[in-house]
């Protein structure tokens, strides 16, 4: 099962390495890891996506909570959350094919962020399934590059008791 774990951590050097090392020491592969500052400049939020058995992930979550610079840990599995990924994708598109590609971009609510003579760079955000679907429809045109952020997530308002 996929687990999205949110960890509020002190914004200090070495915290990311410590957390990633804890996962590696327990043989867990991190599917995605995103770190960014919060509204408090002393804190960062780590959003870690792992795939594994509920019992084992619970043990990892408990281990994570014991790391000194970790302030709070939350596993979003089975909870109401808003989760999003961001992707930049460079698609090989000659000018004569651009209208059909632009129609796809509009259907996926993407945004053209750069246009070259032989390619178009597009920004798409949303659930991981949407990102994967957009990649699939772009394959016939030729994908030159893809850069993805990984998942970020927050509890829906009114569901976490932290409004």
What are the structural domain ranges in the chain?
A: 2-75, 82-152
pLDDT attached to residue 54: 84
pLDDT bracket for residue 135 (50, 70, 90): very high
The CATH class that applies to domain 82-152 reads: alpha beta
Supply 156's token pair.
Answer: 């829906």
Question: What confidence tens digit (pLDDT) does each residue in 137-159 have?
Answer: 999 999 999 999 999 999 987 64
- CA-atom Rg of the chain in angstroms: 19
Rounded distance between C-alpha atoms, residue 58 and residue 84, angstroms:
23
Question: What confidence tens digit (pLDDT) does each residue in 69-78 have?
Answer: 999 999 888 8
- CATH label, 2-75, candidates 2.40.50.140, 3.30.70.260, 1.20.1250.20, 3.60.20.10: 3.30.70.260
Question: What confidence tens digit (pLDDT) does each residue in 87-121 have?
Answer: 999 999 999 999 999 999 999 999 999 999 999 99
């Amino acid at each position: 099962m996929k687990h999205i774990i949110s960890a509020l951590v002190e914004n200090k050097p070495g915290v990311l390495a410590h957390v990633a090392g804890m996962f590696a020491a327990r043989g867990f592969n991190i599917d995605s890891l995103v770190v960014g500052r919060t509204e408090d400049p002393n804190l960062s939020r780590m959003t870690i996506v792992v795939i594994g058995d509920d019992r084992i992930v619970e043990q990892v979550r408990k281990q994570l909570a014991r790391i000194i610079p970790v302030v709070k840990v939350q596993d979003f599995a089975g909870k109401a959350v808003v989760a999003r990924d961001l992707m930049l994708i460079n698609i090989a598109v000659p000018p004569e094919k651009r209208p059909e590609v632009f129609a796809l971009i509009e259907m996926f609510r993407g945004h053209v962020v750069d246009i070259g003579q032989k390619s178009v760079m597009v920004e798409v955000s949303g659930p991981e399934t949407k990102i994967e679907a957009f990649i699939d429809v772009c394959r016939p045109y030729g994908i030159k590059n893809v850069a993805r952020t990984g998942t970020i997530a927050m509890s829906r308002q009114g569901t976490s008791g932290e409004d």
